[in-house]
Amino acid sequence: MSHRIAQVNELIRQELSNLILTEVEFPQGCLVTIIRVETSKDLRHAKVWISVIPAYFITKALERLKHNIGQLQFELNKRLSFKPLPRIRFLIDKTEEQATEIDRLLDRIKE
């Protein structure tokens, strides 16, 4: 990954994190965190991985983000000064889930 793409990823992560706090209303007790951003080499698309706690809010959180994606994209475009501006897409980060499953399997092997 180029240094420029890494900078773009971090900038998008920071700006979207701020926007999500101010522009999107999640159910009470729902915490949504942006884990990482991967922007395509041509800067046209950005995959945004999120974590949702507790996990039973995942579907509701994704619905809210998708419902507000137009506003989020608009605000992000106003805040960032490079072209082209990537189209964002939200995905669920399953790293923690996978780590928990691996730990569970390793515990079973030990037994």
What amino acid occupies position 102? Answer: I
Kindly report, residue by residue over 39-63, the tens digit of the pLDDT: 999 989 999 999 998 889 999 999 9
Which CATH number does the domain housing residue 19 bear? 3.30.300.20
pLDDT on residue 98: 63
Domain of 63 in residue numbering reads as: 3-110
CA distance 33 to 82: 24
Kindly report, residue by residue over 65-91, the tens digit of the pLDDT: 999 999 999 999 888 887 888 999 999
pLDDT on residue 96: 67
pTM of the entire structure?
0.81
pLDDT on residue 36: 94
Q: Name the domain count of the chain.
A: 1
Rg (C-alpha) for the chain, rounded Å, is 16
State the chain's mean pLDDT as an integer.
88
The residue ranking higher by pLDDT, 4 or 102, is 4
